[in-house]
Amino acid sequence: MFKLIREHKWKALISSVIILLPTLLGLIFYDKLPDNMVTHYGADGVADGRSSKLFAILVIPAILFVIHWIALFFTAADPKNKGQNKKAMGVVFWIIPVMTIVVCVTILTEDVSVAMIALQAFFALLFVVLGNYMPKLKQNSTYGVKVPWTLYNEENWNKTHRLTGVLWVAGGFLILISMLLPKAVSMTVMLIDIIVMIILPIVYSYGLYRKQLKNGECMPISKVMKKSHIVINIVLTAAVLVFLYVMMFTGNIRTQVGDTAFEVEASYYSDITVKYEDIDSIELREQDAPGERTNGFGSPRLSMGTYSNEEFGSYTRYTYTGEDVCIVIKIGDDALVIGGKNEQETRALYDELMIKMS
C-alpha cells in the first residue's frame, strides 16, 4: 500500500521538512516576532484575523503537516494509483510544502500587497502545473475530477480530464494576468475563475454521461455504482453544503434592551450583557471603520468578536457585515460596537438605548 511513498521517500522527507521549517525558524526568532500575527485575509484583501505567535508558528504548520500526510496516505492507499503517471503523482508531494511557504510569507510580512501577490501566484502556478498533468492521469479515486460519471467510465474520465487540463492551464494564466488589475478586481476575477474551473468540468462530465446514456454507450450509474456509495456521497455532499450555507449565510444578532442593562445574543458566538451604569457614552455613527478582526466569528452575514483599529485599539463588536451605520459604546477604556440588520433597525436600537440611559 505504501509503495508510492517508498518510491518517493526522499520527496516525502524533504517535503515534510519544508512544512515544519517555519516552526524551527519561528522558535529561533521567537522573541523578535510580534505577539499577535495576521493569520487571515478577507476576500477584499484586508487582514481581518490575528492569532498569537505561538499559534502561527506551531499550530498552522502542524495542521498543514497532517493534511500533507493524509493526502499522501490516501493517494498511496488507492490501488488504482499503482500504474499512475509518476510525474503526476510527484506533484502531490509538493502542493502542501509550497502552500506552507506562501502561508508563512503572508504571516511574516504582514503586508497585504505581498500576501495577495503570493496567494495569486500560488493558485496560478498550481492550476497551470496540475492542468498540464490532468490529461495524463489514469482513473483513480484520489486525484482529478472524481465524480461518479468519470470514475465508472474510462472514456468520460479521459475526455473530462483533457478539457480540465486546457481549462486549468488557461485559468492559471488568467489569474497571473489579473494580478495587473486593481486589488479588489483582481481578487474577484481569481475567485470567479476558480469557481468556473471547478464547476465546468463537472458539468461537462455529467453532460457527456447523459449523451453516452442516451446512445447506449454506458450503463446508468445506479446500476454500476453500489447503492451504499450513492447514499454516502449524497449524504456527505448534502451535509457539507448545508454546513457551509448555515455558517456563511445564516445567524442573527439580537439586542434585548432591559430596564437596567441590555444583552446582545449572537448566533455562533458568545453573548454579552452590559449594565447602563457602566456605560460612559453612546454614539450613533454613520460610517463604520471596523479595522482587523483578531478573534471571533466572521462571515458574509455576521462580524463578531475582537477587532483592532487605530481609534479604539482592541475592541469588541457585534454587527452585520457591510452595514455602515453602527452604535459605539464606551465602557471605561473599552469600546463596544453593535448594530442591527439595517440602518433603520440600528437607529431604532440607538433611540431605545438613549431612552433607557436618560
- Residue 35: C-alpha distances to residues 50, 57, 313 (Å): 10, 11, 15
Residue 40 region, left (φ>0) first, then alpha (ψ -120 to 50), else beta?
beta
| Helix (H) / strand (E) containing 333 | none
Show Cβ contacts of residue 148 under 8 Å, excluding neighbours closer than 6 positions: 221, 225, 230, 233
Q: What is the DSSP letter of 261?
A: E
> What's the CA gap between 125 and 171, in Å, rounded?
10
Task: List b or e across 149-169, with b for residues whose CB sees 16 or more CB atoms inside 10 angstroms.
Answer: bbbbbeebbebbbebbbebbb
DSSP state of 78: -
Mean pLDDT of all residues in 332-341 = 95
Residue-wise pLDDT tens digits, 228-287: 766 776 787 788 788 888 888 899 999 999 999 999 999 988 899 999 999 999 999 999
Residue 278, helix vs strand vs coil: helix
Helix (H, G, I), strand (E, B) or coil at 6: helix
Dist CA 102 CA 122 (whole Å)? 7
Q: Give the H or E element holding residue 282.
A: strand 281-285
For helices 60-77 and 95-109, give the axis angle rounded to 10 degrees.
170
Cβ(121)–Cβ(186) below 8 Å: no
pTM recorded for the entire structure = 0.66
Rounded distance between C-alpha atoms, residue 44 and residue 186, angstroms: 10
pLDDT by residue (tens digit) across 1-17? 566 677 778 888 999 99
Residue 48 has pLDDT above 60, yes or no: no
What percentage of the chain carries pLDDT values higher than 90? 41
Q: Give the pLDDT mean for 66-84.
A: 82
